[in-house]
Amino acid sequence: MTPIASFILLSSLAIGTTTTLASYHWILAWIGLEINTLAIIPLMTKIPHPRAIEAATKYFLTQAAASALILFSSLINTWAFGEWNISSLSSSLSIPLSIAICMKLGLAPLHFWMPEVLQGIPLMTGLILSTWQKIAPMALLIQISHAASLPLMITLGLTSIIVGGWGGINQTQLRKIMAFSSIGHLGWMVIILKFNPQLTLFNFILYIAMTSALFLTLIAMSTTKMSQLSTSWPKTPALTTISMLTLLSLGGLPPLTGFAPKLIISLELIKQNSPILAASMLLFSPVSSIFLYSTNMCHSPYTSPKYTPIPNHLTHPIKQTSLSSINKPHSPLTPPTNLNTTN
Cα four-point dihedral sign 74, 76, 79, 81 = negative
> Are residues 158 and 42 both part of a single domain?
no
Any domain includes 39: yes
Percent of the chain predicted with pLDDT > 70: 83
Higher pLDDT, residue 293 or 77: 77
Instruction: Tell me how far apart the alpha carbons of residues 239 and 233 are, in angstroms, rounded to a whole number.
Output: 8
Q: What is the mean pLDDT of residues 43-62?
A: 92
Lowest mean pLDDT among 109-123, 167-181, 265-279, 315-329: 315-329
Higher pLDDT, residue 329 or 244: 244
Higher pLDDT, residue 316 or 88: 88
Question: Per-residue DSSP letters for 242-283?
Answer: HHHHHHHHHTT-TTSTTHHHHHHHHHHHHHTT-HHHHHHHHH
> Are residues 107 and 188 both part of a single domain?
no
Any domain includes 82: yes
> Are residues 125 and 153 both part of a single domain?
no
| 9-21 burial code (b ≥16 CB/10 A, e <16) | beebbeebbebbe
Contact 136, 20 (CB under 8 A): yes
* C-beta neighbour count of 226 within 10 angstroms: 17
Secondary structure of residue 293 in the 3-state scheme: helix
Quote the Cα angle for 233-235-240, to 5°. Answer: 40
Secondary structure of residue 25 in the 3-state scheme: strand
Domain boundaries, position 243: 149-343
pLDDT of residue 256: 85
Instruction: Tell me how far apart the alpha carbons of residues 327 and 256 are, in angstroms, rounded to a whole number.
Output: 7
pLDDT in tens, 119-160: 999 999 999 999 999 999 999 999 999 888 999 999 999 999
> Are residues 311 and 207 both part of a single domain?
yes
> Are residues 125 and 156 both part of a single domain?
no
> Are residues 185 and 322 both part of a single domain?
yes
Q: What is the pTM of this model?
A: 0.86
> Are residues 103 and 191 both part of a single domain?
no
Q: What is the mean pLDDT of residues 37-62?
A: 93
| 102-140 burial code (b ≥16 CB/10 A, e <16) | bbbbbbbebbebbbbbbbbbbbebbbbbbbbbbbbbbbb
Q: What is the mean pLDDT of the chain?
A: 84
Any domain includes 188: yes
Closest-CA residue to 121 (of 177, 47, 171)? 47
Any domain includes 278: yes
pLDDT of residue 332: 42
| Amino acid letter, residue 279 | A
Closest-CA residue to 169 (of 158, 180, 161)? 180
Indicate the residue among 73, 94, 129 that finishes a domain.
129
> Are residues 67 and 191 both part of a single domain?
no
Indicate the residue among 97, 129, 161 that finishes a domain.
129
Q: How far is CA 230 from CA 167, 224, 241, in A?
A: 21, 11, 11
Any domain includes 1: yes
Any domain includes 211: yes
> Are residues 155 and 238 both part of a single domain?
yes
Any domain includes 312: yes
Instruction: Tell me how far apart the alpha carbons of residues 342 and 271 are, in angstroms, rounded to a whole number.
Output: 8
Identify the DSSP state of 310: P
pLDDT of residue 336: 43
Q: What is the mean pLDDT of residues 300-328?
A: 51
Lowest mean pLDDT among 24-38, 201-215, 250-264, 312-326: 312-326
pLDDT in tens, 251-297: 887 888 888 999 999 999 999 999 999 999 988 887 666 666 666 55
Contact 320, 242 (CB under 8 A): yes
Instruction: Tell me how far apart the alpha carbons of residues 291 and 270 are, in angstroms, rounded to a whole number.
Output: 27
Indicate the residue among 71, 98, 129 that finishes a domain.
129
Instruction: Tell me how far apart the alpha carbons of residues 27 and 238 are, in angstroms, rounded to a whole number.
Output: 47
> Are residues 187 and 308 both part of a single domain?
yes
Instruction: Tell me how far apart the alpha carbons of residues 107 and 336 are, in angstroms, rounded to a whole number.
Output: 30
> Are residues 314 and 172 both part of a single domain?
yes
Question: In the chain, how many domains are there?
Answer: 2
> Are residues 290 and 319 both part of a single domain?
yes
Question: Per-residue DSSP letters for 165-221?
Answer: HHHTTT--BHHHHHHHHHHHHHHHHHHHHTT-HHHHHHHHHHHHHHHHHHHHHHHHH
